[in-house]
Amino acid sequence: MCGIVGMISYRKVSSLLLEAIKKLEYRGYDSVGMACLHEGSLEIRKDIGKIADVDSKVDFTSMEGTSGLAHSRWSTHGAATKINAHPHSNMEKSISLVHNGIIENHHELREMLVKKGYQFSSQTDTEVIVHLIDSYYRGDLREAVSLALKKIDGSYSIGLLCSQHPDILIAARKDSPLIIGIGKKENFIASDVPAILSYTKKVIYLENEEIAVVKRDSAQVFDLDGKERKKEVHMIKWSTEKAEKRGYDHFMLKEIYEQPDVISETVEGRIGDESIDLSSEMKMSAADIKGIKRIIIVACGTSWHAGLIGEFMIEELAKIPVEVEYASEFRYRDPILERETLVVAISQSGETADTLAAIREAKKKKAKILSIVNVVGSSIARESDMVLYTKAGPEIGVASTKAFTSQLVVLYLMTVYIGAVNGSIVTDQVKNRVRDIRLIPMQIRSILEEADHVELHAKKFFTKENALYLGRGINYPIALEGALKLKEVSYIHAEGYPAAEMKHGPIALIDKNMPVVVVATQDNRTYKKVLSNIQEVKARGGVVIAIETKGDTETKKYVDHNIYVPKNSYILSPLLASIPLQLFAYYIALLRKHDPDMPKNLAKSVTVE
């Protein structure tokens, strides 16, 4: 989950590296460091804290050199201390290395290296790699890296410089993303595209167990046995502007407000006046689609919540049984996958380590893999049989907002498309479903126009330390997602429950100091039941904040505070209800003086187990 960027150039790189690593700070902000190679020697500067704070203390931009590495850390092995910050070096300070991932056998390797006389200065697993490379180095740097990586169990993306090879930058990866940027008289490595987008839009995606030898005017890629691999150069289609704040105070707020346009972009080219067509993306014949007997959705975090809503959508409309699995648990049992099972993987980054491992387990059992991801060319996308891109553009805020709603839109389009093909949804119903999704961008804009109303409610509750979120049916996962958002950015303890489950334990917590957020949009299924649950809360002295359908006069009789959303179909109500809950969490974070873009202990792309 750490940020890595490296450059080998014709010009001084320290200021360029600093600007690049700032664009990856969402991947980790426990510490930051930089190494630059100048006149045959490596200089390293690093410290704990966010980039701006560290730079004010150590002055990165005064470092000389035309090649360098920078790193922003999310701590795994070893606390967030200066000595544990990256880059790490060998004992002679001739090799400098940055790393993202987890080395699972680092204890054994450390013991072996200590016996050989190597001295360790940090508690990180990363330092094992640099000493291991040093132990194999006999003049051929790439070969030393290959030999070392063959000894490593776990995940890694690494960048390294060696003072004895000033004209090359080495990069390698396994189960942790790393790209090569192709520039003019300079080349780059990075763990994510935004870092290098100001310098080039041409990228090469490294695959597992590949090593790149990057020079100013070339980039060669090899496998661990030294065989060269020909790689395709891809063009990034989105601009640097999409990755910047554009006048908003925070990325999270910007991305909340981008949702109407994102959803319009997500449906563009996929829906007609009366139909939905995903045939070119799903690459399944009508017979194959009709043959789907079961769908398993694997995901983590917010994407798992999207999967839960997808379960309701698919079973309701396409009439196919669905199971939603935590990707982190899926491969640690022996899942039963028939040939007629479709496995759907959901991940914003397309690099989520647990989700990637889950689809690999499913592929072993010959299941078809359909991924729903945001990042073109990501590992999950490349390893799937089919991909439905969410088209949300870069999401920098750690707490997912626009990626989540675009995932819901893709799940909806997929559901209606499959249902239309297998005959579960007739033509007139498809037409109505298309009409409903076309309304969503305008309806979200209307919610955002009343954001100040949500902010007023945040001011009433930001001092609370606990909250309960309730929902029923398809809105139960939105209760989970609303609680997660509040936890992520405000650090308030919040839990989401199916409203009927409140009586089976959580009701014991309810009093005047426990705000209860209830998703109570109108429908013909659970609405009256939710009203009863609200009254149960009120009978215990609880304070209720309700997400209601605009025009509803019944709910307001029982609740203390109302936040309204427009009316749409039952299936799409979660999409609308999620918007005020995102705003609510954002404003509470600000009132509690927390940075919503960099919540403590979290990172954007979870690339370790």
121 touches 127 (CB < 8 A): yes
Q: Which two tokens stand for residue 6?
A: 């490296």
Query: pLDDT band at 285, cuts 50/70/90?
Result: very high
pLDDT tens per residue across span 585-607 = 999 999 999 999 888 877 655 54
Q: What's this model's pTM, rounded to 2 decimal places?
A: 0.77
34 touches 69 (CB < 8 A): yes
Domains defined for the chain, CATH in brackets = 3-236 (3.60.20.10), 243-448 (3.40.50.10490), 451-591 (3.40.50.10490)
Q: Which two tokens stand for residue 378?
A: 């990501």
Write the DSSP string, 262-285: HHHHHHTTTB-SS-B--HHHH---
User: What's the rounded Cα separation, in Å, for the pair 549 and 93?
Assistant: 64
Residue 536, exposed/middle/buried by CB under 10 A (0-12, 13-18, 19+)?
middle
261 touches 255 (CB < 8 A): no
Query: pLDDT band at 609, cuts 50/70/90?
Result: low
Closest to 585 measured CA to CA, from 509, 484, 439, 500: 484
What stretches of 348-436 adopt beta strand conformation (E)? 368-373, 386-389
Lowest mean pLDDT among 136-150, 180-194, 504-518: 504-518
Which residues, 6 or more positions from 16, have their beta carbon under 8 angstroms from its beta carbon?
7, 9, 199
What stretches of 301-384 adopt beta strand conformation (E)? 322-326, 341-347, 368-373
**Catalytically active residues, by annotation:** 2, 604
Q: Is it true that the peptide bond before 574 is cis, omega within 30 degrees of 0? A: no
State which H helix or E strand residue 176 sits in: none
Q: Which two tokens stand for residue 586?
A: 């954002």
DSSP 316: I
Give the pLDDT of residue 1: 63
pLDDT tens per residue across span 91-139 = 999 999 999 888 989 999 999 999 999 999 999 999 999 999 999 999 9
Which residues, 6 or more positions from 325, have their beta carbon under 8 angstroms from its beta carbon?
296, 297, 298, 335, 358
User: What's the rounded Cα separation, in Å, for the pair 151 and 93?
Assistant: 22
Q: Which two tokens stand for residue 597?
A: 């873009």
DSSP 398: S
3 touches 19 (CB < 8 A): no
Which residues, 6 or more positions from 223, have their beta carbon under 8 angstroms from its beta carbon?
209, 210, 211, 229
